[in-house]
Chain A
């Protein structure tokens, strides 16, 4: 089987690009390019990942400046053709600012940067990113953010529910959505969203930091393996 050609977008201030490249290479055997933010075409790729970090120093709002980079026009063209995109953490924030997904991120209710393992429940396994999980699987994956408090209007939340766009929710270890298991104040415990067509997944937890047992958990590994299977 030919290797999947993946691109990991690097903005000034991105800092999870190398971990993401390693996870894609080691778990899914992808052939990965780090793609600089000035790139104008993404046509050669089967998968694009927007990794975590602090693009443009999170100035103004997380993701607000990255959204206007040249590569984002190429990304729009790429997604118009239903290309697969995985946005992780800052990648989620950028996709929201670019209005490729609805809603916005606010400061965590604790006002603190939170870096620790959390539990998320898989709400959908019929996306290219989650097809190797079972619905209801509970994953231990770390988060690392200050602005992960998802907000959408009442109408937005209803639309997300209606189009089944919530892919991950923060839960306790037993898979229950409780106030206490919500680390950042996200409405409806939302930790990950996809587009109605399912080709874009954005998530705050970092699967690349949970892709090998040696990291404390390999619960995120199946995200990369699912993508591999979906593209096979």
Chain B
């Protein structure tokens, strides 16, 4: 067990070191792309936390990602040059002007019904805070209702799936204040403490790398707590955990909220890196794609899910260079997914664990090997 622990630590250390060494090997354009994949990696961690540890398959993780993205994007939209140069006291997003009724005042307070909602976003800190607060509050309320009602398994997946589609429809329909299908584009840069996060700068890359590292470490520490053990017990047998006196919904809701917070944070980073927010973040296919990443990387391995997300996207980018292969790649992803679910349900992470366990058994055929195998279920 000690050996496995060391290998695990080494894997985390190596991965984080690689994150920070990457800028030595590529130009700004390449780094921007990698930064985007690191954000996907955070989503992998969020999925693994709820799916692997809590057994909750959230098919609407895109909801929290999208919320984080839109909250920050609203602030950044107001700070962009196009919004500032409308000759009014408050910045006004360009799309509101295009759609304004004749005679409407050029001011954020009353250019259309609902534009008032944008007012507090003039302060960038408000957008930043809401990017975490909103997903956390929504996830908290949703989780509390779902888990108190003892809804589990596939029904949670259906509710989250329906909810993300519902919000997406409303978002698209509220065209005057959200710019509908087009989403929020042409954003300003995030500025914190005098540092401007130009998407094509090393600063932005390091922001993403540091965020991912911290998320991984925090999630790993969280997974080592007693609460996480109880959560895994709930996943394996909910009734038994309840009879043992644990307040099951509290643990489930807590991990659900943490996962939502990670997704919201990832959404904000995504906006910083790519300079847009769009309703496609709340497409069903995007939420399921996140699950694919986690499944391939290993649903019950935080690092595995993270690497799975990054790896799949890097390969996809490579393949997509050849135009003819773009569609074929999607088919390959579908095939990989079927094969992984059928033959490798624990993904790459599970594979690594089995290898370590086998190695261990050869070294010392004793009790610790079985203990290691038992532990390899989660990590």
Q: Do the two chains belong together in a single complex?
A: no
A residues with a Cβ closer than 8 A to B are none
B residues with a Cβ closer than 8 A to A are none
